[in-house]
Amino acid sequence: MRRIPWTVVVFIAGLAVPLLGSRFYTFVASDIVIVSLFAMSLNLLLGYTGLVSFGHAAYFGIGAYTCALLMKSANAPFLPSLLGAGLMAGAFALLFGFFCVRLTRIYFAMLTLAFAQIVWAICFKWNDVTGGEQGLPNVPYPDMAWMGALPILGQFRVGDHFYLSALSIVALCFAALRRIVDSPFGRVLTVIRDNPERAQFIGVNVRAYQLAAFVLAGFFAGISGGLFGIFNRGVFPDFAFWTKSAEPLIMTILGGMGSFWGPAVGAAAFIVLNQQITSFTEYWPLTMGTVLIVLLFVFPGGIAGTLMSLVARLRLRTKAEIPSADAPELVKPNA
Amino acid sequence: MLEVYGVSKRFDGFTAVDQVNFAIGRGEIAAVIGPNGAGKSTFFNLITGHLRPDAGRIVLKERDITGAPPHRICLMGMGRSFQRTNIFPKLTVFENVQAAFITHRRRGANFWGLSERLYRTETQALLASLGLTDKGDTLSGALSHGNQKQVELGIALACDPEILLLDEPTAGMSAAETRETIRLLERIAAERGLTLLFTEHDMEVVFSIAQKIAVLHQGRLIAEGSPEAVQQNADVRRVYLGERH
């Protein structure tokens, strides 16, 4: 039996969302696609390098402001602005990360948080450039007129066009991330996650690799932020606030940091749950908290991790050669 | 191969290693022994760069490595295993050893190739020589203690060391596993012309393979020489061997 290429199936299903003709579905799908890149970028640190960052929103925010400023104030085209957003976020990740990787564990996490709060404060106060508390409203949609001239795409709205480009860009980023974690570099990151002390003594300059991972994670968070600013039609200081840093952490735990797609699954679950629960009750954070507690105790592998071990168990049962009690060991975390 | 000149290390006034001089030549097998707390592990950590000496010099292959970071010392041809088993528990046995090949041959900065395809034959061959071939796909964290020690040795050997430091290579092993490990070490050292420096509690192990023994006591080197000479040494008999009889 051949394996089903799930990533391709999901991508095609994603492309088909505008066909449903609903503004709401496109809106939710855009949100999921863009934010899942934010969560996946964090997992390069969390799940692969073993670094807990409490300040990932800094790079999301820097990317959002950079892209918005380039497009709004400098009238730069969309793709170069977005690339600029990633590069700017990566540059700041290099600067902040240089200091952060000198610390370990909780001290590392606290320093990332401190830098993120500095970024937030600057965004909040620097009225001339960032618009201060008011943020930067009316970030323009990129010019997608060429899409309107194409056969099927012509009937879609501007929001749909933007969704399709965001989906394609995020898909490219996911492909790049996959490539990175499967590379020798990615293997070194998992080695550091498992045992930094031993990693040094197979010739790994641990800090240099941690910094490289930090910069890459910052770059992809910046791309995600740039897209989100356009999607949101505005960029505001709370993009870099510490509560924003908690979101990808929650999504990653929800989806499972032990698997490559876990954070994206978590982002989808988080956003859909948010939509559904807020339509019933105003106690969304309470509900989310309860869901998280249950998940941490009952399914510590997250949604994706639990599904994967379930599939592995079923496969084993159909083979019926090895007792199913061994199944969980077959699921390797991020290797 | 390795020379240590007057190395000292103090922790908050307590002198863990006190002006130790030591040398080991290419291809030699030497043991560092001493009672608990004699400073053996600290001594190793000074040589491998995990700790910085307060005084003295360490020279590897005629190059001063005092204060150099561990990864650089490792790339210069020193391998080590740790007292407490120190492997990559969430990776498979194969990936543990393969990762060491990748990093030691400086391929780790490649972030666009596929790690899976690198050094497959080298890794298989090394696993075979350690008797781990059938364990290749097992998560290393799920292995028995003895097997994990073998994986750790595999990681150290994948770095193609010229000198290998082993901190208690048979700690926690059964008598049979210990004998097997000793045979394996002797064979590999002979095959590769390795210089071996190890610490060990088990005197049977020490006297069976060491050509040279250094005795540490309260951070100081109190004797050094052939196994016979050390065994006859009055100081050693008093402070160390004497305690056991």
- Residue at A51 is within a domain: yes
Please give the single-letter amino acid code of residue B149. K
Mark which residues 160-219 of A lie under 8 Å from B by CB. Answer: 179-180, 182-188, 190-191, 193-195, 197-206, 209
User: Which positions in chain A touch B142 (Cβ < 8 Å)?
Assistant: 329
| pLDDT score at A298 | 83
- Give the residue from chain A lying closest to B160, CA to CA: A202
Tell whether A325 is within 8 A of chain B (Cβ).
no
pLDDT tens, residue by residue, A202-223: 989 999 999 999 999 999 999 9
A183–B114 C-beta distance less than 8 A: yes
Residue A321 pLDDT > 60 = no
**Domain definitions of chain B by residue range:** 1-77+162-245, 86-160
CA distance B152 to chain A (A): 10
pLDDT tens, residue by residue, A186-207: 999 999 999 998 999 898 999 9
- Residue at A333 is within a domain: no
Domain count, chain A: 1
CA A68, A74, A79, A85 torsion-angle sign: negative
- Give the residue from chain A lying closest to B158, CA to CA: A202
| pLDDT score at A83 | 97
**Coil, strand or helix at A235:** strand
Distance CA(B3)–CA(A121), nearest Å, equals: 54
pLDDT tens, residue by residue, B41-71: 899 999 999 899 999 999 999 999 998 999 9
Interface test with B, best of A198, A211, A322, A334 (most B CBs within 10 A): A198
The answer to whether residues A48 and A193 touch, using CB atoms and an 8 Å cutoff, is: yes
Distance CA(B67)–CA(B58), nearest Å, equals: 9
Tell me how crowded residue A116 is: count the other CB atoms within 10 A of its CB.
26
- The average pLDDT across A306-312 equals 86
- Residue at A260 is within a domain: no
Is the ipTM here above 0.90? Answer: no
- Residue at A42 is within a domain: yes
Distance CA(A116)–CA(A286), nearest Å, equals: 26
DSSP chain B: -EEEEEEEEEETTEEEEEEEEEEE-TT-EEEEE-STTSSHHHHHHHHTTSS--SEEEEEETTEE-TT--HHHHHHTTEEEE-SS----TTSBHHHHHHHHHHHHTT-TT--SS-GGGTTHHHHHHHHHHTT-GGGTTSBGGGS-HHHHHHHHHHHHHHT--SEEEEESTTTT--HHHHHHHHHHHHHHHHHHT-EEEEE-S-HHHHHHH-SEEEEEETTEEEEEE-HHHHHH-HHHIIIIIHHH-
pLDDT tens, residue by residue, B1-55: 899 998 999 998 888 899 999 999 998 999 998 888 888 889 999 999 989 999 9
A333–B99 C-beta distance less than 8 A: no
According to DSSP, residue A320 is labeled T
Option in B82, B88, B109 nearest A194 (CB): B88
A202–B104 C-beta distance less than 8 A: yes
Distance CA(A324)–CA(A50), nearest Å, equals: 30
Q: Point out which residues pair with B212 in neighbouring strands.
A: B30
Option in B138, B142, B159 nearest A202 (CB): B159
- Residue at A269 is within a domain: no
The answer to whether residues A30 and A169 touch, using CB atoms and an 8 Å cutoff, is: no
Nearest alpha carbon to residue A81 among A28, A136, A24: A136
CA distance A189 to chain B (A): 9
Distance CA(A69)–CA(A136), nearest Å, equals: 8
B110–A205 C-beta distance less than 8 A: no
- The average pLDDT across A157-181 equals 93
- Residue A120's pLDDT band (cuts 50, 70, 90): very high
**Coil, strand or helix at A136:** strand
Chain centre distance of CA B171 = 12
| pLDDT score at A334 | 62
Residues of chain B with pLDDT under 50: 245
Domain topology for B1-77+162-245? Rossmann fold (3.40.50)
> Which tokens in the block code for residue B75?
């790339």
- Residue at A64 is within a domain: yes
**Residue A182 is part of which domain span?**
6-242
pTM of the shown model:
0.87
| pLDDT score at B99 | 93
| pLDDT score at A279 | 83
